[in-house]
Amino acid sequence: MVQRVDVSGKQGYPLFLGAELGELGSHLQNTYGQDGHYLLISNTTVAKHYAEKLSQGCHGLKLDQIIVPDGEEEKSLERISTLTEHALDLSADRDTIVLALGGGVIGDLAGFFASIFMRGIRYIHIPTTLLSQIDSSIGGKVAVNHPSGKNILGSFHMPQAVWTDFTTLQTLPWKEMRNGLAETIKHTLVAEPDLFEFIDDHADDIKGRNDKILKEMALRSLAVKVKIVSEDEREKGIRMLLNLGHSFGHALETEEDYKGITHGEGVSIGVAAAVFLAKGRDLMTGKQMERTLDLLRRLDLPTTVTGHDPHVLLQHMAADKKNKAGHKILILPVGIGKSTIVKDCSDEEILRAWESVIR
């Protein structure tokens, strides 16, 4: 049964949860008519599993495909340039609607392309990973990376809709599942202590890929994202809390040139660094810190990293988008289930946090 959840705001849009990929074509015809042009953008891994199923459901519609290689490094201006050339070859115009089929990388890449192609065209998110279903497909943040920092070049461009088929998780490798679990645990620390307890109680079921437990977890996790982005569409206040762990994690991804550590692994290590920093500021007790680290580890998520210089990582953090007037702004947990924006962290404190997670 399809569940509809609406993201509110100046540019609100619906999430269709539990919607089958093969039914998207009917939605497109009912919403936009028979004569539209659709541009499916996906990567080699996802397209192998799902592009044909989606295309068959769009029978009778004008649907073209652009398939790009898999990998975070594809989020680049070079790939945007190539997409532009392909789109023009396929006669894309201002009325074309982009269908972004894939995880966070495709959502960011295809969404950013849609935001700038001919000054902006419409797009629909079709998230296929846990991370994209509970986090990155919601909120309209789209971007590509730059050698100076992750997601430095981007915009807010709200989708027309998010079409989520949870059955795509059945083909998702455990490593990719972990990326989403890191974001889910982040959501629990930001605003959902009951979900933290649920995950703690059902960690074995989650690792065993229990469909019922995974779906409940996903629905409760994405509800956190929906509530926050509905209140703060353009990240002027409370939405900044969703960056818990990301200032640290993005620094790691940048240092490894987006080819080493995954986004979820970076977030997990970033959360670990943040809880150490929070403990040092008496925002968390020792028990709360250890419970958080233990839950990350039980889900096979890393809490340490090797082979990095904390001073180099600190330099990467200077490019973080939350920073203001040269001051590093961090999100830190306050216990389990609440977080706060901290504007006065010294470089010494941040270095100590890095040293706590570097082996």
61 phi-psi bin (left φ>0, alpha ψ -120 to 50, beta other): beta
Is 225 known to be catalytic? yes
The residue from 43, 145, 179, 243 that is catalytic is 243
DSSP character at residue 96: -
104 alpha carbon, distance to own chain's centre: 5
For 279, the token pair is 């403990």
Q: Which long-range contacts (CB under 8 A, 24 or more apart) does 337-341 make?
A: 337/188, 337/189, 337/190, 337/191, 337/192, 337/193, 337/194, 337/196, 338/190, 338/191, 338/193, 339/189, 339/190, 339/191, 339/241, 339/244, 340/241, 340/283, 341/240, 341/241
Contact criterion met (CB below 8 Å) for 330 and 345? yes
Is 119 known to be catalytic? yes
Report helix, strand or coil for 62.
Answer: strand
Q: Which phi and psi angles does 66 have, rounded to 5°?
A: -130, 120
How far from 122 is each of 85, 111, 170, 332, CA to CA, in Å? 18, 9, 29, 35
Euclidean distance between CA atoms 90 and 87, whole angstroms: 5
The residue from 125, 178, 186, 250 that is catalytic is 250
Is 263 known to be catalytic? yes
Which residues lie below 8 Å from residue 256, measured CB to CB, with a gap of 6+?
none
Is 178 known to be catalytic? no
Is 27 known to be catalytic? no
The residue from 157, 187, 220, 246 that is catalytic is 246
The residue from 72, 74, 176, 183 that is catalytic is 183
Is 243 known to be catalytic? yes
Is 37 known to be catalytic? no
The residue from 119, 236, 287, 359 that is catalytic is 119
For 285, the token pair is 């007790």
The residue from 157, 225, 279, 321 that is catalytic is 225
Is 250 known to be catalytic? yes
The residue from 125, 157, 187, 263 that is catalytic is 263
Measure the CA angle with vertex 30, ends 24 and 34; round to 5°. Answer: 90
The residue from 239, 316, 321, 328 that is catalytic is 239
The residue from 141, 187, 279, 316 that is catalytic is 141
Euclidean distance between CA atoms 20 and 23, whole angstroms: 5
Euclidean distance between CA atoms 64 and 88, whole angstroms: 12
Q: Name the residues annotated as catalytic.
A: 119, 141, 183, 225, 235, 239, 243, 246, 250, 263
